[in-house]
């Protein structure tokens, strides 16, 4: 299953739509004045229907894969209910606008030729002010959709290897080492931050590898949008976690901060491979502390250097084993 928003067509925002109509009206002609004004309103109706088509083709929120449903909510920064309310407002507004336009079209048909232009302008004014009254909702859902469309490369049904860990531990370096091609860069909605998505094959099974933007060890409600998206991937993708510790002298986070994050991630997804990265420039004290914490909690770990290709083949073998086990289930 691909991103359900990818193919959704976005209509113009309210002011842009009105501008399109205003720009077009003088170019519409007819055999009579009445005919011309009717054609103008029919054109406006066609434009208004773009909102109706948009709402009708919007993915059914309740049928979305949990990954996309949660991504939608995080991107929106408001609840799913708010999104549903807005969608139904857009639906109602476009139906009402259409019926106003139809009513005026009928009136023009029955009216005197001299009144036709006045009626057309009245209809234009009424419909434009109706759309403007609902502008906040309409424009917001359009922006939200544009951002969701950017999430193009993540397939929630595909087995996924999710590289997680604190910022700067070497996640994107590892993605480029374990996935075949140079990783594609996919935009994550509403942020300037990107996540890397790479692919590789295990016995003909296509696997995607993503690095989650660095997550800090802090309560969920204090987490920013980027971190919440990373947690969403960990929770809702069909995935194996590769959790990286940085045990080098350059490590930015203490053993406890890194370990607490691991503990939280394990609550969401227990299928995790733990790797101590940057083994080529290890800080002995840090290494001893991290490995002690892991042993005390009966957690196995591997030692790697993503940058210098140390332990990468073993890590790949372990990933392969886990993917095959996961696919069998
Ligand atoms: P991310 O923020 O977790 O994605 O981390 P990056 O992959 O961007 O790496 C952060 C820094 O760590 C970069 O300067 C990398 O060159 C460096 N780095 C990554 N892996 C290793 C490694 O195995 N050894 C050493 N010494 N540095 C590494």
**What's the topology of domain 14-149?**
1.20.120
Residues of the chain with CATH 1.20.120.1190: 14-149
Residues of the chain with CATH 3.40.50.300: 160-328
Residue closest via CA to ligand 1's atom 6 equals: 170
Mean local confidence (pLDDT), 73-93: 97
Asked whether 254 lines ligand 1 (CB < 6 A), one says no
> pLDDT class for 148, splitting at 50, 70, 90?
very high
Tokens of 228: 């919440």
Atom of ligand 1 nearest to the CA of 244: 3
pLDDT for 273 equals 98
Decide if pLDDT at 184 tops 80: no
- Between CA 184 and CA 205 the distance in angstroms is 19
Asked whether 169 lines ligand 1 (CB < 6 A), one says yes
pLDDT for 67 equals 92
Mean local confidence (pLDDT), 279-303: 96
Ligand 1 center–CA 277 separation, angstroms: 8
Ligand 1 center–CA 169 separation, angstroms: 6
Asked whether 179 lines ligand 1 (CB < 6 A), one says no
Q: Supply the mean pLDDT for the chain.
A: 91
Q: What is the pLDDT of residues 5-55, one digit of tens each?
A: 988 999 999 999 999 999 999 999 999 999 999 999 999 999 999 999 999
Asked whether 168 lines ligand 1 (CB < 6 A), one says yes
Decide if pLDDT at 182 tops 60: no
Asked whether 280 lines ligand 1 (CB < 6 A), one says yes
* Higher per-residue pLDDT: 211 or 69: 69
**Options 3.40.50.1980, 3.40.50.300, 2.60.40.10, 1.10.1760.20; which CATH number does 160-328 get?**
3.40.50.300
Q: What is the pLDDT of residues 208-254, one digit of tens each?
A: 988 887 777 777 778 888 788 888 888 998 889 999 999 999 898 99
């Amino acid at each position: 299953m691909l991103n359900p928003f990818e193919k959704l067509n976005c209509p113009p925002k309210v002011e842009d739509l009105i501008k399109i109509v205003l720009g077009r009206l003088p170019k519409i002609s007819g055999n009579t004045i009445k005919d011309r004004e009717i054609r103008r309103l029919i054109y406006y109706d066609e434009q208004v229907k773009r909102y109706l088509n948009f709402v009708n083709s919007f993915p059914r929120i309740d049928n979305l894969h949990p990954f996309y449903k949660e991504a939608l909510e995080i991107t929106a920064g408001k609840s799913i209910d708010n999104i549903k309310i807005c969608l139904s407002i857009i639906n109602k507004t476009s139906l009402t606008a259409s019926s106003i336009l139809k009513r005026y079209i009928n009136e023009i048909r029955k009216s005197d030729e001299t009144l036709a232009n006045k009626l057309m302008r009245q209809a234009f004014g009424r419909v434009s002010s109706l759309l403007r009254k609902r502008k906040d909702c309409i424009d917001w859902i359009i922006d939200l959709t544009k951002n969701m469309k950017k999430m193009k490369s993540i397939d929630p049904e595909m087995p996924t290897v999710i590289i997680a860990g604190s910022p700067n531990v070497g996640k994107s370096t590892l993605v480029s080492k374990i996935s075949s091609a140079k990783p594609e860069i996919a935009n994550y909605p509403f942020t300037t931050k990107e996540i890397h998505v790479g692919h590789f094959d295990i016995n003909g099974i296509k696997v995607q590898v993503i690095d989650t933007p660095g997550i800090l060890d802090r309560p969920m409600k204090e987490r920013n949008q980027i971190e919440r998206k990373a947690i969403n991937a960990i929770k809702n993708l069909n995935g194996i976690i590769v959790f990286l510790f940085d045990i080098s002298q350059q490590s930015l986070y203490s053993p406890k901060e890194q370990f607490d994050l691991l503990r939280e991630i394990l609550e969401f997804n227990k299928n995790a491979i733990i790797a101590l990265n940057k083994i080529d420039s290890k800080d002995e004290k840090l290494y001893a502390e991290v490995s002690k914490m892991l042993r005390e909690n009966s957690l196995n770990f591997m030692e790697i250097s993503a940058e210098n290709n140390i332990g990468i083949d073993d890590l790949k073998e372990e990933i392969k084993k886990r993917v095959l086990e996961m696919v069998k289930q």
